[in-house]
Chain A
Amino acid sequence: MHPLNWVIVVGWLSYVVVYGLWKSRGTKGIDDYILANRSLPWWAVGLSVMATQLSAVTMIGTTGQGATDGLRFVQFYFGLPLAMVILGVTLVPFLHGAGVYTAYEYLERRFDAKTRSLTAFLFLVSRAMSCGTIIAAPAVVFSAIFGWSVTWSVALIGIPAILYTMVGGVQAVTWVDVKQMYLIVIAIVAVAITLLVQIPVSPSDALHIAGATGRLRVFDFSFSLTNTYTFWSGLIGGTFLMLSYFGTDQSQVQRYLAAKSVDEARTSLLISAYWKIPLQALVLLIGVLVFVFYQFEKPPLLYNPAHERAVLAAKPAEYGALESRYAAGLIARDTAARAVARARDAGDATATATTTRAFKTTDDTISAIRNRALDLAQRVTGQPSKDVNYIIPRFVLDHLPIGLAGLFIAAVIAAAMNAISGELNSLSTTTTIDFYRRWVRANGSDSHFLTVSRVATGFWGLFACIVATYAVNLGSLIEVVNRFGSFFYGSILGVFLLAMMPRAGARGAFVGLISGMAAVGLVNFREPNVAFLWHNVIGAVTVVFVGMLISVVAGPPNLAASRSGSAGATS
């Protein structure tokens, strides 16, 4: 990469670390560290919530998915606005009004300590692992592209984020997120404009070429439990996933608990609902445009340069033969794509239909050759060869102008830092409040708990970096993160739904939670083809059904006793 690009990357990283540390200078107690003294404005909280979700996985995984699979992935987010509205009128007023530090703390007031501890534990396990995969996503790609060791790549992304999160807590996390969001949006828009300028046909022709390969098909109304991305799985399964993620996951809950009031808290949630679908559609569209760009520019046969080097060294003849066929196929596809553009420009409908069919045939040939090359890479390296996460980084480094490439790489690192800093902060809060203060030392000075929180942040940061270092062979990372979360999310949501039902009791909640996870485990084991978005629905419904059944059989809960019993732990 050009030195100017490196100057931009290093300059930005240094700037955000210094800015985060500067913003944290007022952090003197646990309230500052965890909730910023409930002083954050709604727009900053909203941008921060958005930034936490816009990880590096979005920047490189989602764009790659757009290039290979088109826009249909956006259906995954169809449930998000609905979930935000439901949360805004239900759970947010409950949690914000309860004056708690963590969502799980509320569960002890409503049910008992073991339900609180189990949900908090599940959060720690799933978040710590996902935090590792979030660092691993860009680290693996950087390692392959720049030839660094994975450990160094992980350190470059992880250490700056750990540093300002450890020192500044939610205050530093939120304000750095706001800055980084600006950079990410600027980088995304700049790449989109550059692509439109560099593609040698009109935007309308470019979209027609993408449409001919099905990449602009957004809506799939088939009701299938095995198809991962459909309108219904996005709307129903996605709503349950988003309800659980934004309503019960401490990494999100902590943000709106830090808002000044209930109204500001739920307005901040709606900021995410505003832009999530348009922004994801734009990110996917960039991937689609990269696909169109490579109709006219020779794309690499394998996007992962490390795999390319390994295959060239181990099977030069076989790879060379594939490359020759690939080069000939690309020339045919280029010619076919230009014929489509000419026919459309001439307004000839018959010629457009004929040339579009011819183009589709040449594109299928290219896909078949690429699949053979990927199989070869898998045989040679013994690693999954799916290279969807390498498409955008290769495009950025090979074709973006100097400066813009650095801006994009900085935005990818920024996105990774945003996601992990928010998660580290929430992991630390849960460790301190739900375990240390609940089970180890209930009474301590403010500065003592602040120190514990900082140590916990450092610990989880280190843990995530270790997970990231070993999580190098994960295939499509975005799906790994979402699949992992879906194993627990639905069941945890079910417990919070039970908490809002007056008849639900502690025993019902605990047994329901175990049953929900068992049901998801059973489905995963027995029917592995059921798409993971449905796991959230299965988990939540099982918890509510079993929990209510047991609660009704066991008799009405004694809410007053359960609340007074935990008063000391939550004050």
Chain B
Amino acid sequence: MSEFDPIAQGDTGRRFRRTLVRVIAVQIVTLALLWLLQTTFTA
């Protein structure tokens, strides 16, 4: 299966990991804001 292995292609995956951390942060902030919106304004 080596032809399918990303590591074998010399990919460090650094950009992927960095982007992943940002993605998780953006989702957490968005969900928190939506939760805040719901709890603040929904009767």
Interface residues of A (CB under 8 A from B): 42, 71, 74, 81, 84-85, 88, 93-94, 96-99, 207-208, 210-212, 214, 216-219, 261-264, 266-267, 270-271, 273-275, 277-278, 281, 353, 356, 360
Write out the residue numbers on chain B whose beta carbons fall within 8 Å of the beta carbon of A281: 30, 34
- List the count of A-B residue pairs having beta carbons below 8 Å apart: 90
Tell whether, in the assembled complex, residue A261 and residue B9 are in contact, meaning their CB atoms are under 8 Å apart: yes
Report the minimal beta-carbon distance from A235 to chain B, rounded to whole angstroms: 11
Rounded to whole angstroms, the CA-CA distance of A277 and B34 in the bound complex is 10
Tell whether, in the assembled complex, residue B6 and residue A93 are in contact, meaning their CB atoms are under 8 Å apart: yes
Tell whether, in the assembled complex, residue B38 and residue A270 are in contact, meaning their CB atoms are under 8 Å apart: no
Tell whether, in the assembled complex, residue A216 and residue B37 are in contact, meaning their CB atoms are under 8 Å apart: yes
- The total of chain B residues at the interface (CB under 8 A) is 28
Q: What would 16 more interface pairs be, CB under 8 Å, given A97-B3, A277-B27, A277-B31?
A: A81-B23, A88-B20, A97-B4, A98-B3, A208-B41, A211-B40, A211-B41, A211-B43, A217-B42, A218-B35, A262-B9, A263-B6, A263-B11, A267-B19, A274-B23, A356-B43
Report the minimal beta-carbon distance from A103 to chain B, rounded to whole angstroms: 13
Report the minimal beta-carbon distance from A533 to chain B, rounded to whole angstroms: 19
Which B residue's beta carbon lies closest to that of A208?
A: B41
Q: Helix, strand, loop or mixed for chain A's interface?
A: helix
Rounded to whole angstroms, the CA-CA distance of A98 and B4 in the bound complex is 6
Tell whether, in the assembled complex, residue B6 and residue A262 are in contact, meaning their CB atoms are under 8 Å apart: yes
Known A214-B42, A216-B42, A278-B26; judge A94-B4 contact (CB<8 A): yes
Write out the residue numbers on chain A whose beta carbons fall within 8 Å of the beta carbon of B26: 274-275, 278
Tell whether, in the assembled complex, residue B4 and residue A219 are in contact, meaning their CB atoms are under 8 Å apart: no
Contact of A97 among B9, B22, B35 (CB under 8 A): B9
Rounded to whole angstroms, the CA-CA distance of A218 and B14 in the bound complex is 34
Report the minimal beta-carbon distance from A101 to chain B, rounded to whole angstroms: 16
Report the minimal beta-carbon distance from B2 to chain A, rounded to whole angstroms: 9
Report the minimal beta-carbon distance from B17 to chain A, rounded to whole angstroms: 10
Rounded to whole angstroms, the CA-CA distance of A359 and B30 in the bound complex is 29
Tell whether, in the assembled complex, residue A263 and residue B12 are in contact, meaning their CB atoms are under 8 Å apart: yes
Report the minimal beta-carbon distance from B38 to chain A, rounded to whole angstroms: 5
Known A85-B20, A270-B20, A278-B30; judge A262-B11 contact (CB<8 A): yes
Write out the residue numbers on chain A whose beta carbons fall within 8 Å of the beta carbon of B23: 81, 84-85, 270, 273-274
Q: Helix, strand, loop or mixed for chain B's interface?
A: helix
Write out the residue numbers on chain A whose beta carbons fall within 8 Å of the beta carbon of B9: 97, 261-262
Contacts A/B (CB < 8 Å), 13 sampled: A81-B23, A96-B6, A99-B3, A207-B37, A207-B41, A208-B41, A214-B42, A216-B37, A263-B15, A264-B15, A274-B19, A277-B31, A281-B34
Most chain A C-beta atoms within 10 Å of own C-beta, residue among B9, B22, B40, B41: B41
Report the minimal beta-carbon distance from B16 to chain A, rounded to whole angstroms: 5
Tell whether, in the assembled complex, residue A218 and residue B37 are in contact, meaning their CB atoms are under 8 Å apart: yes
Tell whether, in the assembled complex, residue A217 and residue B20 are in contact, meaning their CB atoms are under 8 Å apart: no
Tell whether, in the assembled complex, residue B30 and residue A277 are in contact, meaning their CB atoms are under 8 Å apart: yes
Top 7 nearest A-B pairs (CB, nearest first) are A211-B41, A93-B6, A97-B4, A262-B6, A263-B11, A218-B34, A211-B42
Write out the residue numbers on chain B whose beta carbons fall within 8 Å of the beta carbon of A207: 37, 40-41
Write out the residue numbers on chain A whose beta carbons fall within 8 Å of the beta carbon of B24: 81
Rounded to whole angstroms, the CA-CA distance of A358 and B38 in the bound complex is 20
Report the minimal beta-carbon distance from A459 to chain B, rounded to whole angstroms: 33
Which B residue's beta carbon lies closest to that of A95?
A: B4
Write out the residue numbers on chain B whose beta carbons fall within 8 Å of the beta carbon of A88: 16, 20
Known A262-B11, A263-B6; judge A71-B43 contact (CB<8 A): no
Which B residue's beta carbon lies closest to that of A278?
A: B30
Report the minimal beta-carbon distance from B26 to chain A, rounded to whole angstroms: 6
Known A93-B5, A98-B4; judge A219-B35 contact (CB<8 A): yes
Tell whether, in the assembled complex, residue B30 and residue A218 are in contact, meaning their CB atoms are under 8 Å apart: no
Contact of B11 among A210, A212, A261 (CB under 8 A): A261
Known A262-B9, A266-B16, A270-B19; judge A216-B3 contact (CB<8 A): no
Tell whether, in the assembled complex, residue B11 and residue A81 are in contact, meaning their CB atoms are under 8 Å apart: no
Rounded to whole angstroms, the CA-CA distance of A279 and B6 in the bound complex is 31
